[in-house]
Chains A and B, each alone.
Chain A
């Protein structure tokens, strides 16, 4: 399994109730069900992914976060709400984070770090919007409409009074390297955060 998903798995307690926003083909939920006896749902809008989830036995709900929101889920009914590689693709990431911590005790998000040194270099040398393996789209035709950096995300968490429980970094191949941790905002390609509300 991809190292980023392995990192997430370590942060999930056995028997957790999990909601996965944008669950893709259900790989992570399937794994959490089998390895951690987790239960819960994945939300997805891609028809092929939905079908794959169903054949895996992952409970998947066709629901669009941007248009339908999460109002049909009740407060604090999940241990963890996950969102991997989708925060940058929703219209209001800040409100989605609020919703995640309304539904769950903890939230785990992953997103591409726009301050990664290659992207900085691309922008500086070409003067054009960066493209990379994690961000392969043209600026006018990209699902990634809300790009941010490690520091942006942490500033938002600070502003919202969220507690950052864990932070991890992987590269474009989702590898975990020691030097990422040294200077994540410059060297990390993909950010992984585990957050919760402040205790009081």
Chain B
């Protein structure tokens, strides 16, 4: 952490673990008899519980969205740029809830949790969960927290998919859905990248069919490769060019295959760090949840038809250099909303940072996000 707390930080935060005893049945047909969700909250719930905002995390995200856990933390939560006093999701006005989703590896029940039926870690026996399952569990979390209706459900990327799913599954339990850098479903190319990541993990000798916990090893190499290929899709050609160009670590070529270019050592470093903190089975599960997400599946691939049941207002934002979920994918979503006569606002934000742009506080992004959330707050009486 910096020497003193920034004034626009939520400060030191402590996650809490909520235990759920009622069984939850998942889309795959399996049931979890009980489970934990790890949650952080920022700000105060107002008297009529109208100012609650749910933050949905992306592929590698978790409950720690803002503030610091310890005074010595080097970095704040993953969306600290947008959550805090005076920030777009203003914690002086909103009660912000951020959780680690089911199947995660940061404290919520997931593949690395103990299966009460066996006394062993779930590993590959943990059921594949879907975006819909997450939204279901988030609704149960809302019940627990005394939130009948969210002022807004907000998310970027995979988080945006959850916001969209909320609008379909619980139309009367949210006023606004904020869907950032997201897509109504993955393309073949998106799924292809996920498959490369999964192959990297499952072909690692240390993977042991997902039972690596029993051998006290981690498929580090596979996880690292998965992250490296994923990371490339989060950046843009331009931003990588600007950050690394063709810069070498030393002066000259060495005519070998070690990391000679800066971009190589950066990717290796990112991959290695990730492989130390993330669970391989969770990575498989999260990418599968991405692949399966397709809210128009049950309505003959007609998203507008699916959206007929939504009643919230939508804000959809895309970023010009995002090639993972391009602006065209957001526009597809917006057009379906228009066709379904839903209230929707849309902007494509000029940003060089590719898919990662949703995490980076560029001026126009912050202006729009702030203006929209300010209205959400006013409507909520916050």
A134 interface residue (CB < 8 Å to B): no
CA separation between A40 and B379, bound complex, in Å? 19
One digit per residue, 1 when the CB lies within 8 angstroms of any chain B CB and 0 when it does not, for chain A 56-69 equals 11111111000000
The segment out of A47-55, A164-172, A177-185, A186-194 that lies at the interface is: A47-55
One digit per residue, 1 when the CB lies within 8 angstroms of any chain A CB and 0 when it does not, for chain B 337-375 equals 011010111111000000000000000100110011011
With A61-B344, A62-B348 as known contacts, state yes or no: A72 contacts B375, CB within 8 Å: no
With A51-B367, A51-B368, A59-B344 as known contacts, state yes or no: A74 contacts B339, CB within 8 Å: yes
The answer on a CB contact under 8 Å between B345 and A52 is no
The answer on a CB contact under 8 Å between B375 and A47 is no
The answer on a CB contact under 8 Å between A55 and B345 is no
B204 interface residue (CB < 8 Å to A): no
B40 interface residue (CB < 8 Å to A): no
A73 interface residue (CB < 8 Å to B): yes
CA separation between A39 and B313, bound complex, in Å? 12
The answer on a CB contact under 8 Å between B345 and A59 is yes
B335 interface residue (CB < 8 Å to A): yes
The answer on a CB contact under 8 Å between B335 and A72 is yes
The answer on a CB contact under 8 Å between B345 and A54 is yes
Main secondary structure of the interface of B (DSSP, over half): helix
Nearest-CB distance from B358 to chain A (Å)?
Answer: 16
The answer on a CB contact under 8 Å between A73 and B348 is no
The answer on a CB contact under 8 Å between A62 and B347 is yes
Nearest-CB distance from A163 to chain B (Å)?
Answer: 27
CA separation between A62 and B371, bound complex, in Å? 15
Main secondary structure of the interface of A (DSSP, over half): mixed
CA separation between A140 and B343, bound complex, in Å? 39
With A50-B368, A61-B344, A62-B347 as known contacts, state yes or no: A55 contacts B338, CB within 8 Å: no
Number of residues from A at the complex interface, CB < 8 A: 22
CA separation between A72 and B335, bound complex, in Å? 6
CA separation between A58 and B345, bound complex, in Å? 8
B334 interface residue (CB < 8 Å to A): yes
Which residue from chain A places its CB closest to the CB of B327 in the assembled complex?
A62
CA separation between A39 and B340, bound complex, in Å? 13
B200 interface residue (CB < 8 Å to A): no
B331 interface residue (CB < 8 Å to A): yes
CA separation between A63 and B371, bound complex, in Å? 19
The answer on a CB contact under 8 Å between B348 and A55 is no
B residues less than 8 Å from A41 (CB atoms): 338, 344
Q: A41-B344, A62-B348, A72-B331 are in contact. List 9 more A-B contacts (CB 8 A).
A: A39-B341, A47-B364, A47-B367, A55-B372, A55-B374, A55-B375, A58-B345, A73-B338, A74-B339
* Nearest 8 CB-CB pairings of A with B: A55-B371, A62-B347, A72-B335, A54-B371, A54-B372, A51-B371, A61-B346, A59-B343
Sample (26) of A-B pairs whose CB atoms are under 8 Å apart: A17-B341, A39-B341, A39-B343, A41-B338, A41-B344, A47-B364, A47-B367, A50-B345, A50-B368, A51-B367, A53-B345, A54-B315, A54-B345, A54-B372, A54-B375, A55-B371, A55-B372, A56-B375, A57-B375, A58-B345, A59-B313, A59-B343, A61-B345, A63-B346, A72-B338, A73-B338
